[in-house]
Structure 1
Amino acid sequence: MSRYRGPRLRIVRRLGELPGLSRKQPKHAYPPGQHGQDRKKRSEYAVRLEEKQKLRFNYGLTETQMLRYVRRARRVKGSTGLVLLQLLEMRLDNTVFRMGFAPTIPAARQLVNHGHITINGKSVTIPSYGVRPGEVISVKDNEKSRKIVERNLEFPGLSNIPSHLEFDKAKMTGKVNGVVEREWVALQVNELLVIEYYSRQA
């Protein structure tokens, strides 16, 4: 299944606030469609599916990528749900978004794809790259890259910088000091239900 490229507000109306997908707020609080205001009680499967979809759409992943991350999380000691969230939060595109270089995760992915971001001075064009403690993330030192990011920094997607990141706005540089803590994950999601959803597949 390919990455979603349709109307973002439609997804926000269906799943609730997704800070990584869109900054816009929908006019209506109920889901889209003819029966949006008249939803019946959902099954356990539907609840788990919705939590999984929140993660998928917020971080801009394909179904194959999600399954791969769940399998990686299962191999790590500790809470599988927490490890999954940490793997997703430590992606380069999400880290660029959390530092304010881009207003949304799709915009951050584009910045990375187009070569505007460097790690430890070297250009990295892989949005799924997992950043590690000690790495320094910067905007490429050229006028075009700096202008794009300067414009984005005026209206960042999220105002709070997570505690595991250190950010210098003047130099347009950030440093990863550790792994993200659960309280700094901006998305309201029940990660245990996501793990339960994948329990038969992973």
Structure 2
Amino acid sequence: MARYTGASCRMCRRESLKLFLKGDRCYSDKCAFERRSFAPGQHGQNRFRKVSDYATQLREKQKVKQIYGMLEAQFKLYFERADRAKGVTGANLLILLERRLDNALYRAGFASSRNQARQFVRHSHFLVNGKKVNIPSYQVTAGDVITVKEKSSKNELIKDNIEGAVRRGVPSWLEIDQTKMQGTVKALPNREEITMPIQEQLIVELYSK
């Protein structure tokens, strides 16, 4: 699946929100958003632009896409699946995105960013229920056990990430065993546990036009 390969910090500045796309760098003084929190481009510091309802809805969709690292085609498939499911479409969409394997690894602290987690999965560093899974979009479910592959357990980067997971906090739907380098999906995530400032109803309104 194609992915965005441009500047990550530019996206944070565009959304006027720190999206934590570059891992530890986002917590340091080198964070571009901390130094230049205005939008990129020559008109980025113009604070008096009128913003239409459509522009607000579009920006919300772009923000969520960027947080979870997806392009338009894949994101739309997630929306269509959420729309077909029972319940509130917006909440369904965010829960499906949270259940992605790369996101679960990031939220559990095995990776410092979702992009890094995606790379770990593609390089087959992790097992799900004892089986190799190299698809970042794999949907985890309650009871799944995610473990670091034996050959990858000596990877210092993964070890450092696990030790630093306390800084971000691990959501209640995941349980981490640092000594075994193992994570367990205790339950499916719910909307209240998604703490990023997301207004999913704006995305629903955009796609409903």
Q: Report the TM range for the smaller structure's normalisation.
A: over 0.9
Task: Give the counterpart letter for 2:135 in structure 1.
Answer: I
Determine helix, strand or coil for the equivalent of 1:166.
strand
Query: Does residue 128 of the first structure (1) align with residue 129 of the second (2)?
Result: no
Shift in Å, 1:189: 1.0
Match of 1:112 in 2: 121
Greater helix fraction, Structure 1 or Structure 2 = 2
2:40 equivalent to 1:36: no
SS of 1:137 mapped into structure 2:
strand
Contact residue 73 and residue 84 of structure 1 kept, 8 A? yes
Contact 2:120 2:126 in 1 (8 A): yes
Q: Does 1:169 align with 2:178?
A: yes
Residue 98 (str. 1) matches residue 107 (str. 2):
yes
Residue in structure 1 matched with residue 22 of structure 2 by the alignment = 22
> What SS class does the counterpart of residue 198 from structure 2 fall into?
coil
SS in 2 for 1:138: strand
**Aligned residue identity for 2:160:** R
Instruction: Say how many residue pairs are matched.
Output: 199
2-structure distance, mates of 1:117, 1:171: 13
User: Which blocks of at least 5 consecutive residues in structure 2 are unaligned?
Assistant: none
Query: Offset of 1:157 from its aligned partner?
Result: 9.0
Q: Which moved more, 1:28-37 or 1:149-158?
A: 149-158
What is the CA–CA distance in structure 2 between the aligned matches of 1:153 and 1:28, rounded to whole Å? 30
The secondary structure found in structure 1 opposite 2:19 is: coil
Find out whether 1:59 has 2:60 as its counterpart.
no
Following the alignment from structure 2 to structure 1, what is the Cα–Cα distance between the partners of residues 41 and 202?
25
Residue 9 of structure 1 aligns with which residue?
9
Counterpart of 1:153 in structure 2 is 162
Unaligned runs of 5+ in 1: none
Secondary structure at the aligned position of 1:142 is classed as: helix
Deviation of 1:82 after TM superposition, in Å, equals 0.4
- Root mean square deviation, CA, Å: 1.7
- Contact (CA 8 Å) 1:136, 1:176: kept in 2 or not? yes
Percent identity at matched positions? 44
Q: 1:143, CA displacement in angstroms?
A: 4.7
**Whole-Å separation in 2 of the counterparts to 1:50 and 1:167:** 34
